[in-house]
Amino acid sequence: MSPTPLKVAVTGAAGQIGYSLLFRLASGALTGGAPIELRLLEITPALKALEGVVMELDDCAFPSLAGVEIGDDPEKIFDGVNLALLVGARPRGPGMERGDLLSANGAIFTAQGKALNKVAADDVRIGVTGNPANTNALIAASNAPDIPKERFSALTRLDHNRAISQLAAKTGAAVTDITHMTIWGNHSATQYPDLFHAQVGGRNAAEVVNDQEWVESYFIPTVAKRGAAIIEARGSSSAASAASATIDAARDWLYGSAENDWVSMAVVSDGSYGVPEGLVSSFPVTTKDGDWSIVQGLEIDEFSRGRIDASVAELEDERNAVQELGLI
């Protein structure tokens, strides 16, 4: 008998990220080839386009794809899902910051949080990719009182992967030699990609690079503003890389991160590293069997403290803004 398929919901499934994400999911990139059932949510006007995407999924004859359901009713689509990837939200355009999307996108996550609360499987995990991702995750979690807050996370894995790629290019190392990378804070221009705890081939990355000017004037802004650079170059926001990071994050969460390394995930703070309890902020985490834990005991110097505090202050402002909008 074949194993029960993992039921995975994807919202915004007819969008740009969806067009890359669905095919990777269906081909087994998340489950390692084990069966997966896709539950695809869209707004009513996009359902026709989504039907076309499903025709293409059919045409791939993926052995691991055990079924596809589409619809515009979150309570039907989220029914019994083990994983919900909340991608559907408006992307920013040139000149906008992700936080500018709060009022446009926030309401999506109240309704979806409520629906997940009602109908998702008991073991559900919820990954938020739609921007502003951290605060949208906070909104969804606040509207799902019966789902433990630890089951919600927001995507900073794309930033994490971007940081690895930049460090590999600078040092001439392979991406597989870069470990212990951390993104702290918000998935925004204030995020802090931390080189001081990262390693290149087991050596401290800051010492290998030995160039504080490069860290401050090139590495941090390049990673933090990569999304804007892509929008500027492509005319639309990152899609394939966002889909790939969404899968990396979900795979590690569900099936465990590599031993002797950690990953970056935006998760609800327990007060670690001075991040106020309850904010959804990015931390270094290890994951095992669907649970994450924040890596403890890292020394935070004055430079890193200032960067983390600035990003956390922005998260507090976002939380205040959605409180005022009545979304949490």
Catalytic residues: 187
The sheet carrying 263-268 orders its strands as 65-71, 36-41, 6-11, 83-86, 125-128, 152-154, 263-268, 280-288, 291-294
* Side chain identity at residue 204, one-letter code: N
Asked whether position 237 contacts ligand LMR by CB under 6 A, the answer is yes
Q: Is 162 annotated as a binding residue?
A: yes
Q: Which of 181, 239, 250, 280 binds ligand NAD (CB under 6 A)?
A: 239
Residue of 132, 135, 225, 224 whose CA lies nearest to 184: 224
Which option in ligand LMR, ligand NAD, none does residue 20 bind, with CB closer than 5 to 8 A by kind?
A: none
Which distant-in-sequence residues (6+ apart) come within 8 Å of 95 by Cβ? none
Which option in ligand NAD, ligand LMR, none does residue 155 bind, with CB closer than 5 to 8 A by kind?
A: ligand NAD
**Cβ–Cβ < 8 Å for 190, 310:** yes
Asked whether position 230 contacts ligand LMR by CB under 6 A, the answer is yes
Asked whether position 227 contacts ligand LMR by CB under 6 A, the answer is yes
Helix (H, G, I), strand (E, B) or coil at 37: strand
Q: Which of 238, 264, 281, 286 binds ligand LMR (CB under 6 A)?
A: 238
- Within the chain, residue ranges assigned H as helices are 16-26, 47-60, 74-77, 102-119, 133-142, 157-171, 205-209, 212-214, 220-224, 226-234, 240-255, 302-324
Which option in ligand LMR, ligand NAD, none does residue 21 bind, with CB closer than 5 to 8 A by kind?
A: none
Q: Is 105 annotated as a binding residue?
A: yes
- Minimum Å distance from CB 1 to ligand NAD? 34
Which option in ligand LMR, ligand NAD, none does residue 225 bind, with CB closer than 5 to 8 A by kind?
A: none
Which distant-in-sequence residues (6+ apart) come within 8 Å of 99 by Cβ? 132, 135, 188, 314, 318, 321
Which two three-digit tokens encode residue 314? 């922005």
Which distant-in-sequence residues (6+ apart) come within 8 Å of 32 by Cβ? 255
Give the sign of the dihedral formed by CA 184, CA 131, CA 42, CA 106.
Answer: positive
Which option in ligand NAD, ligand LMR, none does residue 46 bind, with CB closer than 5 to 8 A by kind?
A: ligand NAD
Asked whether position 158 contacts ligand LMR by CB under 6 A, the answer is yes
Parallel, antiparallel, or unpaired: how do β-strands 199-200 and 203-204 relate? antiparallel
Asked whether position 115 contacts ligand NAD by CB under 6 A, the answer is no
Asked whether position 89 contacts ligand NAD by CB under 6 A, the answer is yes
Q: Compute CA 80 distance to the chain's CA centroid, rounded to the nearest angstrom.
A: 22
Asked whether position 131 contacts ligand LMR by CB under 6 A, the answer is yes
Q: Rank residues 227 and 284 by Cβ distance to ligand NAD and give the closer one.
A: 227
Which residues 134-193 are close enough to bind ligand NAD by CB under 6 A? 155, 158, 187
**Cβ–Cβ < 8 Å for 249, 285:** no
Q: Is 70 annotated as a binding residue?
A: no
d(CA 234, CA 111): 31
Which residues 25-44 are close enough to bind ligand NAD by CB under 6 A? 41-43
Asked whether position 53 contacts ligand NAD by CB under 6 A, the answer is no
Annotated binding site: 12-18, 92, 98, 105, 112, 129-131, 162
Q: Which residues bind to ligand NAD, rule: CB under 6 A?
A: 11-12, 14-18, 41-43, 46, 87-92, 108, 129-131, 133, 155, 158, 187, 237-239, 242
Q: Which residues bind to ligand LMR, rule: CB under 6 A?
A: 91-92, 98, 131, 158, 227-228, 230, 237-238, 242
